[in-house]
């Protein structure tokens, strides 16, 4: 009987190629397919020694080389290309076979695809894969959604290739239909917020502290040994250490200061708005990228000479670097708290029953936001899976309590010196809003009732009420 593959990958650009290699390196026979057969042949020629590959020239040959239930990993650009591949392969598959979309698909597309393929007796698994090309080869964090029963046949293979922490794979069945891609999307949103906060810390140390990129790299390297230790902090030190070969200048100074985005951070904010979850940290990071790309407005502002503060006061109080470290940690806690709140809200909305602690657990390695910090998030949810916000978990409550004076000093300095710090300041505003005994939302309710008769509730009795603002004496009536 001709040899059969346990899993197949179609779409052999770098991510797909590296996933295929990772499966092969773990002893699995891997079927290969690509729109152009040349790339398939190249993979076998270059990496055939790493394991057993079954290259297929056609979709039919590819499907025929797979053992049942067939597991087809799709690694193509999110969007119409994914639908095209599904349309090509679905007719060739049989009851119980599965298609696994490992791209950064929008979770709503995944829900649609999963429902359509379920009607045909096929499993569709939207799997978030984080860690970039290196992660795909050496061990990503994998967030598979889709039917629970498909995880029985698929999970062991994904867990083989996933990153490990203390021998435990950074892969778990997230929940049904689009749950996996939703969690990956929020992972990316948190990634954006984390990157924005790090960028603000750098900017303050540079502009207010007068440190050079190399000195700031040293600071990030130090921070990477402590509670801020993470992949993003580690690579930030590397980027800031880099000197541009062509000019001899710091690399960061020759890069155009316009941040781009493929869109997953934006999706996170759009989804949060629909769910009513205030992911202000993620939103500010998306807007900050948009502002940086707003060439026309920025050039107009500069040429109009929009004035900044008069000579900025020095950083009041503590040591700037120590204060910025505190502000960064506190703001990061807020950003992650908001991201996890969004996951919990979506889990309730879609009936996904996602375990937040398990998400923290599989993010401890392999993914872009991997960090020591995630151990504490896992512990927080292991203690209380219904935690309304991470900020009330004792570890994080104490950490923010200890950081808040420095955090406030940093936000004051940024404002006084005209340095944009939307991440630090919005996180502080979120924290203060959360802990406020009374918010000015009461006045907003009054305004809404005045112009739109939208009614309000009272603090001293149940029900909804409306004031007849135009009537004599402005009497209040039950709404
Ligand atoms: C990951 C990354 C990855 C992301 C790219 C581009 O988890 O490996 O998040 O999925 O798409 O880093 O991100 P942006 O272009 O949106 O910044």
Instruction: Give the least confident one: 32-41, 279-288, 309-318.
Output: 309-318
Q: Could you tell me the pLDDT band of residue 400, with boundaries at 50, 70 and 90?
A: very high
Question: Would you say the C-alpha torsion 290, 294, 297, 303 has a positive or negative sign?
Answer: positive
Q: Please name the residue whose Cα sits nearest to atom 6 of ligand 1.
A: 262
Q: Please name the residue whose Cα sits nearest to atom 12 of ligand 1.
A: 132
Which atom of ligand 1 lies nearest, measured to the CA of 131?
A: 8
Q: Could you tell me the pLDDT band of residue 294, with boundaries at 50, 70 and 90?
A: very high
Phi, then psi, of 465 in degrees rounded to 5: -135, 160
Q: How confident is the model at residue 362, as a pLDDT? A: 98
Which atom of ligand 1 lies nearest, measured to the CA of 195?
A: 17
Task: Report the distance separating Cα 188 and Cα 431, nearest Å.
Answer: 22
Give the pLDDT confidence of 105-137 residue by residue, as tens digits. 999 999 999 999 999 999 999 999 999 999 999
Place of tokens 């900020």: 391
When pLDDT is averaged across residues 374-381 and rounded to a whole number, the result is 97
The angle formed by the CA atoms of residues 361, 365 and 370, to the nearest 5 degrees, is: 90
Q: How confident is the model at residue 475, as a pLDDT? A: 98
Which atom of ligand 1 lies nearest, measured to the CA of 140?
A: 8
Q: How confident is the model at residue 315, as a pLDDT? A: 74
Could you tell me what percent of the chain has a pLDDT over 70? Answer: 99
Q: Please name the residue whose Cα sits nearest to atom 17 of ligand 1.
A: 261
Q: Which of 143, 133, 75 is nearest to 103 (CA)?
A: 75
Whole-model pTM: value is 0.96
CB count within 10 Å of CB 261 equals 14
Given a cut of 90, whether residue 426 has pLDDT beyond it is yes
323 close to ligand 1 (CB < 6 Angstrom): no
Q: How confident is the model at residue 2, as a pLDDT? A: 77
Rounded mean pLDDT of the chain? 97
* Strand residues in 109-255 grouped as ranges (E): 123-130, 141-144, 164-165, 168-169
When pLDDT is averaged across residues 169-195 and rounded to a whole number, the result is 98
> Which of 102, 259, 262, 290 is the pocket-test mutation for ligand 1 (most atoms within 8 Å of CB)?
262
Given a cut of 60, whether residue 1 has pLDDT beyond it is no
Contact by Cβ (8 Å): 235, 229: no
The residues assigned a catalytic role are 184, 191
Given a cut of 70, whether residue 391 has pLDDT beyond it is yes
104 close to ligand 1 (CB < 6 Angstrom): yes
Q: How far is the CA of 193 from the centre of ligand 1 (A)?
A: 13
141 close to ligand 1 (CB < 6 Angstrom): no
Q: Could you tell me the pLDDT band of residue 312, with boundaries at 50, 70 and 90?
A: low
Q: Could you tell me the pLDDT band of residue 406, with boundaries at 50, 70 and 90?
A: very high
Q: Could you tell me the pLDDT band of residue 313, with boundaries at 50, 70 and 90?
A: low
When pLDDT is averaged across residues 408-415 and rounded to a whole number, the result is 96
Given a cut of 60, whether residue 67 has pLDDT beyond it is yes
191 close to ligand 1 (CB < 6 Angstrom): yes
Give the relative orientation of helices 179-207 and 264-275 as an angle to the nearest 10 degrees: 110
Task: Report the distance separating Cα 301 and Cα 180, nearest Å.
Answer: 42
Given a cut of 70, whether residue 390 has pLDDT beyond it is yes
Give the pLDDT confidence of 199-244 residue by residue, as tens digits. 999 999 999 999 999 999 999 999 999 999 999 999 999 999 999 9
264 close to ligand 1 (CB < 6 Angstrom): yes
Task: Report the distance separating Cα 132 and Cα 58, nearest Å.
Answer: 28
Q: How confident is the model at residue 317, as a pLDDT? A: 73
Q: Which of 132, 143, 321, 161 is nearest to 231 (CA)?
A: 132
Task: Report the distance separating Cα 163 and Cα 88, nearest Å.
Answer: 31
Q: How far is the CA of 89 from the centre of ligand 1 (A)?
A: 27
């Amino acid at each position: 009987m001709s040899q059969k593959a346990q899993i197949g990958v179609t779409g052999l650009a770098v991510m797909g190629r590296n996933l295929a290699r990772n499966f092969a390196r773990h002893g699995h026979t891997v079927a290969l397919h690509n729109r152009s057969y040349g790339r398939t042949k190249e993979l076998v020629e270059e990496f055939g020694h790493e394991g057993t590959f079954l290259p297929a020239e056609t979709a039919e040959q590819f499907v025929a080389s797979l053992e049942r239930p067939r597991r087809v990993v799709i690694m193509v650009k999110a969007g119409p290309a994914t639908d095209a591949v599904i349309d090509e392969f679905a007719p060739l598959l049989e009851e119980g076979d599965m298609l696994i979309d490992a791209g950064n698909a929008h979770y709503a597309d995944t829900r649609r695809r999963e429902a359509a393929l379920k009607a045909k007796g096929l499993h569709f698994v939207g799997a978030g894969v984080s860690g970039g090309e290196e992660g795909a080869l050496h061990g990503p964090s994998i967030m598979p959604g889709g039917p629970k029963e498909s995880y029985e046949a698929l999970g062991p293979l994904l867990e083989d290739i996933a990153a490990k922490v203390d021998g435990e794979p950074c892969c778990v069945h997230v929940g049904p239909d689009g749950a996996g891609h939703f969690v990956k999307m929020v992972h990316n949103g948190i990634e954006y917020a984390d990157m924005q906060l790090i960028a603000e810390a750098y900017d303050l140390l540079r502009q207010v502290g007068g440190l050079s990129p190399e000195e700031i790299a040293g600071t990030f390297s130090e921070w990477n040994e402590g509670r801020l230790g993470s992949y993003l902090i580690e690579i930030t030190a590397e980027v800031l250490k880099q000197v541009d070969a062509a000019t001899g200048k710091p690399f960061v100074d020759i890069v155009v200061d316009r941040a781009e985005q493929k869109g997953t951070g934006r999706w996170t904010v759009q989804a949060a708005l629909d769910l009513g979850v205030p992911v202000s940290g993620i939103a500010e990071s998306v807007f900050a990228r948009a502002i940086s790309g707003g060439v026309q407005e920025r050039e107009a502002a500069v040429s109009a000479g929009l004035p900044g503060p008069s000579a900025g006061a020095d950083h009041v109080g503590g040591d700037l670097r120590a204060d910025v470290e505190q502000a960064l940690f506190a703001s990061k806690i807020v950003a992650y708290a908001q991201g996890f709140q969004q996951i919990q809200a979506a889990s309730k909305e879609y009936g996904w029953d996602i375990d937040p602690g398990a998400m923290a657990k599989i993010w401890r390695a392999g993914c872009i936001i991997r960090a020591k910090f995630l151990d504490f998030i896992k512990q927080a949810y292991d203690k209380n899976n219904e935690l309304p916000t991470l900020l009330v978990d004792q570890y994080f409550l104490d950490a923010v309590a200890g950081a808040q004076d420095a955090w406030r000093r940093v936000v004051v300095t940024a404002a006084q010196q005209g340095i944009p710090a939307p991440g630090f300041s919005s996180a502080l505003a979120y924290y203060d809003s959360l802990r406020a005994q009374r918010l000015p939302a009461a006045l907003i309710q009054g305004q809404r009732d005045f112009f739109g008769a939208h009614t309000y509730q009272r603090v001293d009795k149940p029900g909804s009420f409306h004031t007849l603002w135009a009537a004599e004496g402005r009497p209040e009536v039950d709404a």
